[in-house]
Structure 1
Amino acid sequence: MFTGIITDIGRVVSIDRDQSGKRSEWGDTRIVVDSHYDCETIAIGASISHAGACMTVVEKEQTAQGCRYAFDVSDESLDKTTLKGWSIGQEMNLERAMTATDELGGHLVTGHVDQIGALLTREPLAGSLKLVFSAPPELMSMIAPKGSITIDGVSLTVNAADKVSFSVNIIPHTAEVTTLGQLQPGDKVNLEIDLIARYVARYLSQMKDKS
């Protein structure tokens, strides 16, 4: 589990696609990332959120800047997230898995991306930055004003929502310490809806099937 509070920005060092399919039963793509984390505090098998997608550390080495580590990505994850379009030098929001003593500054985030959205517009507004995103219709029904949403791993509050889009406002600090401030119209983002909304939608769907 995560909180949606970003603790570092990582950068892709290499992407290795194993065409033989022999690397792993679950994934044939290995991505290596540079971070400022201390390798001694990251265990092999640890979970780290990459732009909102939870990945498992399979290799690591200490560098002058911090920790360089690798994770394998399944084809399913590539299809459902923006990781499929990553290239060398790509920057992403990082968050390590929360512990029982961590402050829950954002909201409960699973690291399981629901769908890919896209930035429609960005507009300076009263000292902050208003970002408007599109989302698939099946997700829009679960996005509500004043509710929580995770965008590229960042916990945010929805300001407004209609049938095809929603908006958030980010303060200068968030724009500076995450990749959201770099987004331009047309850029794709990973979306994870609030856990409560997910289960309410599931419950209502089952009730509808029974009626």
Structure 2
Amino acid sequence: MLCKTVLLAGALALGAFAAPIPNCPENENSYTAPSTDNKSTTGSITAAQLTQIAPETASCSGAPFPEECADATTAATALSKSFDTYGIKTAGEKAALIAYTLFESGNYKYSKNHFPGRPGQGTRMMAMPPFIAKYATAVAGADAVATASAAGGDAGLNAVLALVNSDDEKSFGSAAWFYSTQCTEDVKAGVAAETVEGWHNFLTACVGTTLDEARDTPWVAAKAVILA
């Protein structure tokens, strides 16, 4: 098991589990990059950097679901694309989203919920079905979501998830999409500032989960590697 279950009504997950989601804004069509206040901005993330941050990403050897696993090379390419697409510019933002997705997906070993196996929950941020539907609408279109949902029940939820797990770019892009469209400008400013307070506020105020020291480990590592 990746982490403890948090049974609160919500839209995201802890690792591969359900987590709460707050009343975040739904201005999905706009994004204003936070002021960096002279904080460092960075280029694309590399496979070597990801391996430094989380050595387990070096290989998919022994992955419990090999078809879901992404190694550092695959992950770095997809994450870098998502940063470009959604205007993720600062070291603090990149560190936060890398840490967030590493924790949620078990170091990129999972793209679907397996514990307890919740239908329709997944991508590298383990989003719950309501946010999967929003994200799928943004990247695949409302018609595709409507067609997938028409299957009904669990089959419909899984079909919508398949729209955003169909390739690595979409599956890894979910976190940057969520951050850029669902978090407030105050949250973004705190994340860009690279402070632990800003990181924790992202988790509690936007993701809507509880703090866990296990989440801080990849964030500290990601920040150190990106700023090196």
TM-score per shorter chain, which class?
A: under 0.3
The alignment's TM-score, normalised by the length of structure 1, stands at 0.27
| Structure in which a larger fraction of residues adopt helix | 2
Radius of gyration: which is bigger? Answer: 1
TM-score (norm 2): 0.26
Instruction: Give the structure with the higher percent strand.
Output: 1
